[in-house]
Amino acid sequence: MREANPAADVDFQSFVVGRWARLMRTAFLLTGDQHAAEDLVQSSLERVYTAWRRVASAQDPDAYVRRIMVNMHARRHRGRFKELVSRRDDTSLDVPERGDRMAQALDRGDLMAALVQLPPRQREAVVLRYWEDLSESQVAQAMGCSVGTVKSNAAKGIAKLRAVPGLTDKATNERPRP
């Protein structure tokens, strides 16, 4: 257990408050479940808190937190069978508004169901690259892999999402071609 430091505690609290919504959104997109997302964020922040002195002085504390979240998520899903996901529209999910067609899909329930069906590494690459809008090198750092692996996982994940019947049409407001 680390020694109490009121100034560091206030600094950590400000860090968490300023990033909570984004961390929750990322965790929700990784897990596909609100409760699992909350657990993932809380567990990750527990680890960050114990190493706060080192994290706060890091060049990019956000990258450190993302790496912990991705690692914890991967650990939790190693060796597990895929859970069946019921389709639902989670209106509590804040989807970024930056012109990303997939992020603005009319039926987020279908998008979430498709996203959760991706293998964990593909889902991580897609979420970090396209929802978090990280560079390929930042995603590689968060996932602990090479940029080539990120490119491959992201491309495969996007291809699988595009293959979901009706999802691409809804996301791009296009009508299917005859």
Do 76 and 33 share a structural domain?
A: yes
Q: What is the CATH number of the domain that holds 163?
A: 1.10.10.10
- Domain end residue (candidates: 56, 84, 112): 84
Would you write out the chain's pLDDT as a tens digit for each of its 178 residues?
456 677 778 999 999 999 999 999 999 988 888 999 999 999 999 999 999 999 988 888 998 999 999 888 888 765 443 443 333 444 444 544 545 444 444 456 777 888 888 998 999 999 999 888 899 999 999 899 999 999 999 999 999 988 888 776 554 444 444 4
What is the rounded CA–CA span in Å between residue 74 and residue 120?
Answer: 7
Q: Whole-model pTM? A: 0.63
What does the block give as tokens for 93? 């999910």
What does the block give as tokens for 83? 């859970």
Q: pLDDT value at position 107?
A: 58
SS3 71: helix
In a domain? residue 163: yes
Alpha helix (H) ranges present in the chain? 6-31, 34-50, 52-56, 61-77, 108-117, 120-126, 136-143, 147-162, 167-172
What is the rounded CA–CA span in Å between residue 66 and residue 63?
Answer: 5
What does the block give as tokens for 22? 């984004």
What is the rounded CA–CA span in Å between residue 43 and residue 2?
Answer: 17
What does the block give as tokens for 24? 């929750």
pLDDT in tens, 9-61: 899 999 999 999 999 999 998 888 899 999 999 999 999 999 999 998 888 89
| Domain region containing 109 | 104-170
What does the block give as tokens for 115? 């996203």
